[in-house]
Amino acid sequence: MKDSKNVDWNTRGNKQLVAGILAIKNADEAKRFLRDLMTAGEIQEFANRLEAASLLSRDVQYNAIIESTGLSSTTIARISKWLKGSLGGYRLILSRISNHHNSSQLRKGLHLS
């Protein structure tokens, strides 16, 4: 599997994916798009990975993350590497989520049911 530095972001499909994500205007649109794009299992997997990144950023131990998310130690180690890496995707999103945590718009919009 290629790491994110080796992804060719200039392919038509990858450009379209990024444009699609940027076109999302609210939580309802995000839920609808993600559900059409991915299986329920894939959505849960990505949610677990983001949760693992959040837990790692708070120095939670691997065993507790494994128990909480069901992810393997190998996946958690990869998330830890990316969390500390130069691209900073996880750090950026976690920062934005925590900065808007008390926002009433976030509380209303992101309750996933």
Position 113 confidence tier, pLDDT thresholds 50, 70, 90: very low
Average pLDDT score over residue span 10-37: 97
Domain boundaries, the chain: 10-109
Q: Is the overall model pTM greater than 0.85, yes or no?
A: no
pLDDT at 4: 55
pLDDT at 6: 85
| Plot region of 2 (φ>0 → left; ψ -120 to 50 → alpha; else → beta) | beta
pLDDT digit string, tens, across residues 49-105: 999 999 999 999 999 999 999 999 999 999 999 999 989 999 999 999 988 665 544
Position 110 confidence tier, pLDDT thresholds 50, 70, 90: low
Average pLDDT score over residue span 7-29: 96
Classify each residue of 36-62 as buried b or exposed e, where b means 16 or more C-beta atoms within 10 Å of its C-beta.
eeeeeeeeeeeebbeebbbbbbeeeeb
Fold of 10-109: Trp Operon Repressor; Chain A (1.10.1270)
